[in-house]
Amino acid sequence: MVGGGMRRNIRWAVAGLATAVAFAVPAWLCGAVLLPPLLKGDPAIRWSLASALGAVLGSLAVLWSHGFATRTTAAGPSSRSVQATAERAVVIGGDNRAAVSTGNTTAPTAPAPAQPAAGACLAPPPPAPDTVSASGNQAIAIGGTNFGSLSTGDQSGGTHP
């Protein structure tokens, strides 16, 4: 198997090759094939236009190439662990957008989350933890943001026979 440093070098080589091709192919096609019938005059003008088009497409390829070469890839299965070990335990490894109930009663319906005002910028959610676990009876554990209502089945407001 190729090591991490070698894999990174290969990705940079592919990125560089893609950038060079994204410049050279359109520049040659325009300068040698498409523009000669349209511009009968000075070839310097034709090749200047072809090079400008190649530079635009090459700069777009540079943006893609940088992202391609620097992105991280997962080496194996995700290290995230999600476990529910008790009776009626609920565990969610990401964001929750629905009602969750662990008891005999249903969870109350939560109002829909308020929409941000126009032009308001929301902060990105915090990263989800690597381990999410619900180990108690009727426990709820969520490894992300909760937008739904939650109920463990416990009754509030006094004693019941």
| Domain map (residue ranges) of the chain | 4-70, 77-117+124-154
Query: The whole model's pTM is what?
Result: 0.44
Of the chain, the percentage scoring pLDDT greater than 70 comes to 71
For 51-110, the pLDDT digits (tens) are 999 999 999 999 999 999 988 765 545 556 777 777 777 777 777 787 877 776 655 555
Sign of the C-alpha dihedral computed for residues 139, 143, 145 and 147 taken in this order? negative
